[in-house]
Structures are given as structure tokens and as C-alpha cells.
Amino acid sequence: MARRRSVFMAAAIAAICLATPAFAQRGGGGGAAGGTGGTGGTGTVGDQEPGDQGGSVPSGGAAARPSADAAVRSARDEAARGFAKWLVEAPEMAAYRGVAEDIKSAAAPAIAAGVPAGAFTARIREAAARGTAPVRLVPALESDARNWTYLSGLLDGARWPPAKATTGFYLAAGTAMRNGLGDRAVKAAVGWAISASADADRAGSAMMATAAVAAALGMPDGAAASFVVALASSRLPVAEFDGVAALASRAAGDGIPADRFSAAVTAALPTADGLAAVERALYP
């Protein structure tokens, strides 16, 4: 489902596109702690690439597991072959032919771990549209690959997100992780989304907004974990999540601490006029 994004969030996302990661990076093997990666992007859900496969494993009991695992491996192998072909044939790769093998090397292990190939093609398309230099694209994709592999590990075995929303969720979550959303907050958001069978756009948008709030206010990871779930599970429309981030930026400039801001948001979100109630609480 398409949702509106305001100028604030669009500008915030554009500002971090393809920048050198400012945080320690998550390792590619099983959720090492730390940082961010990515090349920016809106994270819009519903742009699944042809041949994309998510990272979840079908259920069906122990007897069904070997054949299910084989089917997942086969689908991921097919996605990797499709991505390799795309690298050769896509017009967006014209400026990146010289680093195509580097891109493939970064993406292949991630795709094998369940990261949708469409997340990589979307990032490359964004980079090509902006005229990003190859020397900047490759490290950004390598950082994305580490973050997405970490995310895939959290989603392994889940029947969420829905197939057509997988690429969009990875893009949104990857942007949040690149902006510094910590491990506890990422795990909390993913855990809530799986248990609630949540809308993938809502979950990803809440992660991006929380990353912006945490960065503006210096919110600790544990507090961000509680905040992202409160925001995602609230009645506030997704289109107003960037308004929360804008209020956090304003609050930071006015010296309002993270705990006061978080308390105001948490108290106001259950009310019918959520965002307006937050502003009244912060600026009586």
C-alpha cells in the first residue's frame, strides 16, 4: 500500500544516501553487535523484484523440513543467478561494469542467506539515478549486505513479511540500521512485527522514524527498542511518523531530553489526536 512521505523524511533519507557509515558495522555472520550500512532509499513496500525470494522457511513439521529447506536453497540459488544476469544486462549497470564483480561478491553471500536480490537492484538503481561514483557504491553495498544479512537472521523461519513486501521492508529497515538504529531496537521491531503479523510498511516506517528520533536526541538503544514498538503499535497513521521525527529534532534544539520526549510520545500516542497531543505535552 502506497503511503505519503513528507519533505522532512525525504530530505533526511536523501542526506544519508551513500555516505560513509558513521557507526560500527554489524558482522555478516549471525548478528554481531554494532552499527549501520546502506545506500539510502525510501523503503517503500510492494516493489518485489522478479525472482526475489524472502528469507523465511515454510512450516510443516520435522518431516517436511528437509524438503522445505531444499526448496528455499533452490529459490535462493535461482535469485542469485537472476541477480548475476541483471548485473550483466541492466542499463543501470552501465557506469558500474568495472565493479560488477565486487558488487556480486558483496551480494552473493547475503542472497544465499535470504536477503532479497531486489534490495540490491533497488539500491543500484538509486545510485545510478544520482550519478553515484563506483568507488562510493561498492562500500555502501557491502555495508548494506552486512546489515541485511543480520536482518535475514532475525527473520529466518518466520512467515513474515509477505513475499511482495519483502524487498520494501529490507530497504526501510536497512535505512534505519544505516542511520544508527541499534540491535535491541531492530530485534524489538522485528519481533513485534512477526508476532503481530504487522503491515510491513508500518514496521519499516516506524524503524526509520525511531532511528531519526534516536539520532536527534541521543536515545539509548534500550529506550529506542521500547519507543519503536510503541510507535509501530500505535494508532498514529504512518504518514505522520515523520512528524514524530520532526518533533524530536525540534525538541533536541530546545534541550528537551530523550526520556522526556519518549514519555510524552508514549503517553500521547493512544489518544485520538496523537501527534498534536505530543506537541502539547512538549510545548504546553
Of 100-114, 157-171, 201-215, 260-274, least confident by mean pLDDT is 260-274
Which residues contact residue 225 at a Cβ distance below 8 angstroms, ignoring those fewer than 6 apart?
A: 182, 184, 185, 187, 188, 189
20 and 52 Cβ atoms separated by less than 8 Å: no
User: Residue holding cell 535470504?
Assistant: 114
pLDDT for 271: 78
Percent of residues, the chain, with pLDDT higher than 90: 63
pLDDT for 67: 53
229 and 192 Cβ atoms separated by less than 8 Å: yes
> Quick one: residue 114, left, alpha or beta (phi over 0 = left, psi -120 to 50 = alpha)?
left
pLDDT for 40: 36
pLDDT for 26: 56
| Mean pLDDT of the chain, nearest integer | 81
Q: How confident is the model at residue 281 (pLDDT cuts 50, 70, 90)?
A: confident
Which residues contact residue 7 at a Cβ distance below 8 angstroms, ignoring those fewer than 6 apart?
A: none
User: Residue holding cell 557504491?
Assistant: 137
* Ranges of each domain in the chain: 7-282
| Cα 191 to Cα 193: distance, rounded to the nearest angstrom | 5
| Cα 284 to Cα 274: distance, rounded to the nearest angstrom | 15
Q: Which of 61-65, 216-220, 277-281 has the highest mean pLDDT?
A: 216-220
Nearest to 275 by CA among 52, 2, 1, 6: 6
Query: How is residue 150 written as a grid cell?
Result: 543480520
- Average pLDDT of the segment spanning 101-128: 95
DSSP string covering 122-178, please?
HHHHHHHHHT--HHHHHHHHHHHHHHHHHHHHHHTT---S-GGGHHHHHHHHHHHHH
Nearest to 120 by CA among 2, 239, 8, 39: 39
Percent of residues, the chain, with pLDDT higher than 70: 76
Kindly report, residue by residue over 221-248, the tens digit of the pLDDT: 999 999 999 999 998 999 999 999 999 9
Dihedral angle computed from the Cα positions of residues 221, 30, 67 and 108, in that order, rounded to the nearest 10 degrees: 110
Task: Give the CA count within 13 Å in the CB-facing half-sphere of 51.
Answer: 16
